[in-house]
Amino acid sequence: MKTLTTPGSSILILHATAGAGHKRAAEAISAALKATDQEHRVVDTLECTTAFFRRMYVKSYIDLVQKAPELWGYLYERSDVVASPTSRGARARLAFDKLNSRSFRKLLDEVRPGLIVCTHFLPLELLSDLKGRKKLDTPVHAVVTDVGLHSFWVYPNIEHYHVATPSTARELVRKGYPAEQISVTGIPVDPIFSSRTPCSVVRAKLGLLEKPTILLLSGGFGVGPMKQMLASFSDCKDELSLVVVAGKNAKLEAECRALAAKLPVPVKVYGFVNNMHELMDAADIVVTKPGGLTTTEILAKGKPMALVAPIPGQEQRNAEYLLEEGAAVRLYDVADAAYHLRRWLFDPVRIRRMSASAQAIAKPFAAQEIAGALVEKLGKTAR
């Protein structure tokens, strides 16, 4: 295998569509780079893999977190050990991933990037191998998309890591990475989340009632106990309104609409939306699973959170961080969600305190900071 040709002047952003957050982080960096007129390209690494590998990679993750979350949590914690690249397990995984991603090298030859940034760990593994074998000298940056840092993010030969919090950085150092090559930037979200609009203004724009508003999110794949939460409002007599986002799950959306029609409170039901920033602005509290990107967007908007059904592993770690910082409460009993949400919603002191905590730990300009660092690094590399 020949060494790659001289890198060019573009930035290659690599993600993988195993969960919506990695793609959204890549798109956020892309949006920030567009503002600088920096040439770049966003690619789903799974597009460089075989059809079998793509189906297996995505389906196995979704099936595990939906049908066997405790098993996923066990595997997540059990595998959180930095393995030597020469260990039997690491070599077997790398061999399997390389066998199923032969067109990945063709992508690099085609784009010839001057810098590569990864918002998923799959391309990090492949790039680390190329750099270790002296087949690639392009700088590689990693953007970690959760608060907790699992060892499958940690590979040798990666020039720089952009992480969520100081604790994430300390965890990375403990796992053997040099502190001087780590930046605490926050998790990148689209720049559209970096500004805030008053609730009343957005409610008027969206045709929502001017009432205390609860936003219920199911996640990009429609995962979560949405129906149980919605049904719990069947005897609610408070002056409030609900906004429901069912995500890409059309069946869940239809079931939520049917439920909403029977409730005594006004409910607006959406499927997958492109104006999440407006829906968050319209809300007084957001009910969500604690995915890294979604919770980061909510923090950027300064909104209190009620966390529901965290997936053991990365979401559990995200939840623990938000609870410790006072930006969220944990909703354990989804069947009685209305009782707890009403109690929090109509406690203005608590809502203000949680909102202040959210704003204190938010990093709404993470995408712009990361984009600036990438452009600066690319300029130094080109000289």
Which residues, listed in sequence order, are joined to residue 245 by a DSSP beta bridge? Answer: 217, 270
Residue 251: both structure tokens together: 């069946």
Q: What percent of the chain has pLDDT over 90?
A: 73
- pLDDT of 5 reads 41
- pLDDT of 3 reads 45
- pLDDT of 170 reads 97
Weakly modelled stretches of the chain, pLDDT under 70: 1-7, 84, 86, 220-224, 380-383
Task: List the chain domain ranges.
Answer: 11-189+365-382, 192-361
Residue 203: both structure tokens together: 């409610």
- pLDDT of 86 reads 67
Q: Which CATH number fits domain 11-189+365-382: 3.40.50.2000, 3.40.140.10, 3.30.420.40, 3.30.70.260?
A: 3.40.50.2000
What would the pLDDT profile of 333-349 be if each residue is shown by its tens digit?
Answer: 999 999 999 999 999 99
Residue positions counted in the chain: 383
Tell the burial category of 2 from Cβ atoms under 10 Å away from its Cβ (0-12, 13-18, 19+).
exposed
- What is the rounded CA–CA span in Å between residue 19 and residue 14? 14
Strands 140-143 and 285-288: unpaired
- What is the rounded CA–CA span in Å between residue 303 and residue 216? 13
Token pair 């999110």: residue: 217
What is the fold of 192-361? Rossmann fold (3.40.50)
What would the pLDDT profile of 264-314 be if each residue is shown by its tens digit?
Answer: 999 999 998 999 999 999 999 999 999 999 999 999 999 999 999 898 999
- pLDDT of 223 reads 56
Global pTM reads: 0.91
Between the alpha carbon of residue 192 and those of residues 27, 150, 188, 364, the distances in Å are 12, 29, 11, 9
